[in-house]
Amino acid sequence: MTVVGLGLCILFLLLSDAAATRQVKGELRRNLFANGIGLTPPMGWNSWNHFQCNIEEKLIRETADAMVSTGLAAVGYQYINLDDCWAELNRDSKGNLVPKSSTFPSGIKALADYVHSKGLKLGIYSDAGTQTCSKTMPGSLGHEEQDAKTFASWGIDYLKYDNCYNTGTSPKERGQEDPATWAPKIGNSWRTTGDIVDNWERRVFGQYSMTSRADENDKWASYAAPGGWNDPDMLEVGNGGMTIEEYRAHFSIWALSKAPLLIGCDIRAMDNITFSLLTNTDVIAVNQDKLGVQGKKVKKDGDLEVWAGPLSNNRKAVVLWNRSPSTATLTAYWSDIGLNPTNVVNAHDLWTHWTQSAVKEKLSAKIESHACKMYVLTLQ
């Protein structure tokens, strides 16, 4: 959702019971890398991109069911995350957040129990201001410890923490600007961009396109590492606003950039193409690689771009991305991607699953408009 205030501060805290206990004691550790969580980017689903405020417990239960039955859980997606609009507008007489009775009549604890019974984890949303961005529920300003206790008692595994209606509190006190520079000390992921919109390049209603989110996130690549990840916002794959090739590029760049892979479509009704994009285990493996180095844009010639990054076992991940309106040939020279000019590699195409052997000096491909090729290069 759109952030209202002086700047951007959306944190994602991946919670364990121990971590939650430390928070409610007012002793939030300064380096959540030590919590042992988020050593690879989180994978799951979030309600906002497709449903926005139209959420209720039946939908969430059915989404958890679909996560398992479709096989998404089997390839690594594990979080089922509620976004804004799950709570009543007013707190109860003790100041506690209350699930909206008309949409979550069984309560969040029962929902968490159901999601956990599926072998999945439940995430929830709150805000550092007086109200959440939708203005439909209270923020946590002045209730931080109380709300942390509430979430812990419900069995919440993941907290998305927004920054609307923050009363203008000093950024120095809140650490509001450029969260990549400070958020690694207090969260496992942080937003580096404004909201994404399901569109290739056009700005819509104050929100921004997929391509612009990729570019903005790229500026912060050096700040990502195991335990803390840059986030250019959730995936739009399957929501219908882009072509198949644009969605393939979207998923490829997010994976290379070590972004959280949070599905934003209705997985209960996704088509086979959407499923095949979201379950490409070769692409997912790049995102989840244990080395944890964010890939980045290493070469740009107009709308022709090369993105690349190192992987474990001395491999390289490479994306050749044609952002132009016509078919073009793209080339990544070894010097562009950090290889020695004498290196000989096997280049495995992650979308066609075909391997070129004994490739020397450069990697070239003819690529359609708005499409990409993604490879893993292994030294011979």
Which residue numbers are catalytic?
162, 195
Backbone angles phi, psi at 194, to 5 degrees: -70, -175
Contact 196, 213 (CB under 8 A): yes
71: left (phi over 0), alpha (psi -120 to 50) or beta: left
Contact 289, 312 (CB under 8 A): yes
Q: State the Cα torsion 322-326-329-333 to the nearest 10°.
A: -30
Report in angstroms the alpha-carbon separations of 289 from 137, 191, 241, 356, 379: 38, 21, 29, 22, 17
**Beta-ladder partners of 355:** 348
Cα 73 to Cα 292: distance, rounded to the nearest angstrom? 21
What number of residues does the chain have?
380
Farthest CA pair distance, the chain: 71
From 341, 380, 379, 376, select the one nearest 362 (Cα to Cα). Answer: 341
Degrees (nearest 5) of the Cα angle 192, 307, 344?
145
**Beta-ladder partners of 262:** 44
